[in-house]
Amino acid sequence: MSIFKFKQFEVDQSGCAMKINTDGVLIGAMAKHSAPKNILDIGTGTGVIALMLAQRYPEAKVHAIEIDQLAAAAAHKNFERSIFSERLSVDHISISDFHSSQQFDLIVSNPPFFVNDLKNKEERKGIARHADENFFELLVQQSNMLLSEKGILYLILPLKQALEVVGEAARYQLLLAHRINIHSDENKPAFRQIIGLSRAGETLVETSFYIYESQAKHTPGYKEILSDFFLAF
């Protein structure tokens, strides 16, 4: 189905190489800032993360960027059709070309993470899933320039890439303030991490999060964080 219905908005996924997925909704629900006024979503795809953040932070303006032209157009339509439309905007542009005088209190991305891997034969899916070797360095460098003084950058990544990004970010005095280890269930090791990077020198807060308590049955924690969004909860 191309239309994904949430409690307060709908997302038309037609024309988007990457559809709504668990990584996206988790970071949309879990990335946090005490009172963000301006939020940036890098690589917005369908626009679902930006829409979730607009719902969670009713005082914030949310800007999104997307390198894929068709996905950017789809996100624009999804924004225009939402009740948050006046606080949402999107540019068809890459992070390397994006410059703004506006600084952002919260920057969020569910980025491509297959680096130096076999590219997907479907080119647009390849752009969405794969990153060039210097992508994370560029992402951290650009985010550092765009973050407000008390801003925080949230990414969701496999563990290896998360570790590399934490090391890269330290070069820019962006330090790990928040780490959420994402597990399928309590018997499996973490397969993703949500990391929050800031220059505020906060004490690291680290937690574990489990998606399933048994086969096809979500944990109470998963249901709780998505209860404001998913019709099923």
Residue with tokens 């086969």: 215
Structure tokens at 100: 């703004």
Distances (CA, A) of 132 to 59, 66, 67, 123: 35, 16, 14, 14
**Identity at 147, one-letter amino acid code:** L
Domain-wise residue ranges, the chain? 3-226
Exposure of 181 by Cβ count < 10 A (0-12 exposed, 13-18 middle, 19+ buried)? middle
Distance separating alpha carbons of residues 197 and 79, to the nearest angstrom: 27
* Range list of β-strands (E), the chain: 3-5, 10-12, 38-42, 61-66, 88-92, 104-109, 114-115, 130-131, 147-157, 175-183, 192-198, 205-210, 212-214, 217-218
Quote the tokens at residue 80. 């225009």
39-74: per-residue pLDDT in tens? 999 999 999 999 999 999 999 999 999 999 999 999
Q: At residue 7, does pLDDT exceed 90? A: yes
Residue 133 is predicted with a pLDDT of: 59
Residue pair 2/74 in contact (Cβ under 8 Å)? The answer is no
Q: Could you report the per-residue pLDDT of 101-129, keeping only the tens digit for each?
A: 999 999 999 997 654 444 444 554 444 44
Cα separation, 138 vs 122, in Å, equals 24
Q: Looking at the domain that runs over 3-226, which CATH code has it been given?
A: 3.40.50.150
Q: What are phi and psi of 54, to 5 degrees?
A: -65, -35
pTM value > 0.85? yes
Least confident of 55-69, 77-91, 118-132, 203-217: 118-132
Q: Residue 119: what pLDDT?
A: 46
